């Protein structure tokens, strides 16, 4: 029997090609636009209507049914409120990981299955193979990092066909299929705000107070807009001029202070160990004596793990062979075994 697949179509080239490939492979394809965010903000226009129309245009070209799921309320609660709370607590979250965990591979999957689908599909550069998550073939575009909190059950119901291609090949397929989105530029910025920077977005929802920027000697050398806007290792946006560039080495949320240094070798910028909370293993926990690598932020280098052990409180401690720069609380550290994603935890120290 032909399997019914609901494809999450965002209006971009990747999800458009996903739908075209699955139709070509003989699946019964339905396109779905997830309306996650539609709010315009001062000086920031949300492009959701244009994206919706682009997705619909491709569905018409492919001759497949098309519908919209309105997840805006759930998205605001599960992703946006979470992100804002994390920044207010002084951490640096990853909203794209939470979006995949709570919306695309949970809410969308559940809604699609209730609606008659057998499976869902997305335009991610990753590979879902027998309930396991593997990196995409295109190392430059691989998005497996963002999928680190998806469950095995969800992966068994999910297809990611473009994970087997490199980006230029996907563009080529879009042209071959004659898709309306073939030349559309990739979206930038956080997942729901288009081209808006995170600071501009946060300023619409949180109140902040200026505070001191303090150098290694304890001297105040400038003023910041609010400690919550800054992250470890940050260089841009400090507004401290003259001489060598400054890097954020730490912050104190209670005092509303940001600490900086011009020394890239400053010990506060480097770590060879970390503790991970909110652990999620996709298939099974890692073997503490196994050979693994870890990625501490998207597109960061994969680092060899020297030791891995579970703590009594359920957190995991990871020691690295080499130091990593700008390890940041709130970010996800993703564990790999070869190209397979084992799972992840959120850096807490």
Residue 193 within a domain: no
Average pLDDT of span 319-329: 96
pLDDT exceeding 70 applies to what percent of the chain? Answer: 97
Of 201 and 118, the one with more pLDDT:
118
| Mean pLDDT (the chain, rounded) | 94
pLDDT at 298 (0 to 100): 93
Same domain, 225 and 138: no
Say whether 46 is catalytic. Answer: no
Task: Return all residues near 191 (Cβ < 8 A) that are at least 6 apart.
Answer: 36, 79, 95, 96, 99
Flag whether pLDDT at 116 surpasses 70: yes
DSSP 178: T
Residue 194 has pLDDT above 80, yes or no: no
160, pLDDT greater than 60: yes
- Tell me what the mean pLDDT of segment 79-105 comes to: 95
H/E element, 223? strand 220-224
Report, as an integer, the average pLDDT of 248-259: 96
108: three-class secondary structure by DSSP: helix
How much is the pLDDT for 42? 76
Query: Could you tell me if 250 and 281 are in contact, meaning their C-beta atoms sit under 8 angstroms apart?
Result: no
For residue 190, name the pLDDT band (cuts at 50, 70, 90). Answer: low
Query: What is the count of structural domains for the chain?
Result: 3
Model confidence at 186, pLDDT cuts 50, 70, 90, reads confident
144 lies in the same domain as 256? no
* pLDDT attached to residue 201: 86
Out of 135, 155, 177, pick the residue that ends a domain.
177
Closest C-alpha to 120, from 159, 162, 81, 72:
159
348 catalytic per annotation: no
Q: Does the pLDDT of residue 347 top 60, yes or no? A: yes
Least confident among 35-44, 247-256, 290-299, 314-323: 35-44
Structural domain includes residue 202: no
Selecting among 46, 99, 148, 348, the annotated active-site residue is 99
Confidence band of 324 (pLDDT split at 50, 70, 90): very high
Domain with 220, as residue range(s), is: 207-261
Give yes or no: residues 81 and 119 share one domain. yes
pLDDT over 60 (residue 310): yes
pLDDT band at 236 (very low <50, low <70, confident <90, very high): confident
Same domain, 256 and 276: no
Q: Kindly give the residue spans of alpha helices, DSSP state H, lying in the chain.
A: 13-24, 48-62, 72-75, 81-88, 95-99, 108-114, 152-155, 167-177, 198-202
Q: List the catalytic residue out of 46, 148, 191, 348.
A: 191
pLDDT of residue 237: 81
**Mean pLDDT for the stretch of residues 8-30:** 97
pLDDT at 199: 83
Together in a domain, 78 and 149: yes
155 and 33 in one domain?
Answer: yes
Residue 346: per-residue pLDDT: 98
Does any domain span residue 65? yes
In this predicted model, what pLDDT tens digit does every residue of 46-64 receive, in sequence order?
Answer: 889 999 999 999 999 999 9
19 with 112, same domain? Answer: yes
Instruction: Check which CATH number belongs to the domain holding 282 and give it.
Output: 2.40.30.10
139 and 233 co-located in one domain: no
Residue 213 has pLDDT above 90, yes or no: yes
> Per the domain annotation, does 199 fall within a domain?
no
Residues 91 and 213 in one domain: no
Residues 78 and 217 grouped into a single domain: no
Does 135 share its domain with 73?
Answer: yes
Q: Report yes or no on 333 lying in a domain.
A: yes
Residue 184: inside a domain: no
């Amino acid at each position: 029997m032909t399997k019914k697949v609901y494809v999450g179509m965002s209006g971009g080239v990747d999800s458009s090609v996903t739908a075209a490939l699955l139709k070509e492979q003989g699946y019964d394809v339905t396109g779905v636009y997830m309306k996650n965010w539609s709010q315009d903000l001062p000086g920031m226009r949300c492009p959701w209507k244009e994206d919706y129309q682009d997705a619909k245009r491709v569905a018409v070209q492919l001759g497949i049914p098309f519908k919209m799921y309105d997840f805006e309320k759930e998205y605001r609660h599960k992703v946006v409120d979470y992100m804002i709370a994390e920044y207010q607590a002084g951490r640096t979250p990853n909203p794209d990981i939470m979006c995949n965990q709570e919306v695309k591979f949970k809410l969308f999957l559940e809604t699609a299955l209730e609606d008659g689908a057998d499976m869902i599909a997305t335009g991610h550069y990753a590979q879902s193979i027998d309930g396991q998550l593997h990196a995409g073939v295109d190392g430059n575009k691989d998005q497996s990092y963002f999928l680190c909190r998806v469950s095995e059950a969800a992966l068994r119901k999910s297809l990611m066909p473009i994970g087997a291609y490199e980006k230029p090949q996907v563009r080529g397929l879009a042209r071959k299929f004659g898709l309306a989105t073939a030349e559309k530029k990739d979206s930038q910025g956080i997942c729901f705000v288009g081209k808006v920077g995170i600071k501009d977005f946060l300023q619409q929802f949180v109140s902040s107070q200026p505070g001191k920027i303090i150098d290694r000697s304890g001297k105040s050398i400038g003023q910041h807009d609010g400690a919550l806007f800054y992250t470890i290792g940050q260089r841009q946006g400090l507004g401290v001029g003259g001489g060598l560039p400054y890097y954020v080495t730490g912050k104190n949320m209670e005092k509303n202070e940001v600490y900086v240094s011009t020394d890239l070798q400053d010990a506060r910028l480097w770590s060879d160990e970390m503790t991970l909370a909110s652990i999620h293993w996709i298939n099974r926990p890692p073997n503490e004596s196994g050979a693994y690598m870890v990625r501490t932020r998207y597109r960061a280098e994969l680092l060899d793990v020297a030791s891995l052990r579970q703590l009594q409180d359920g957190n995991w401690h990871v020691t690295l062979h080499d130091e990593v720069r700008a390890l940041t609380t709130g970010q996800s550290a993703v564990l790999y075994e070869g190209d397979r994603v084992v799972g992840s935890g959120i850096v807490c120290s």
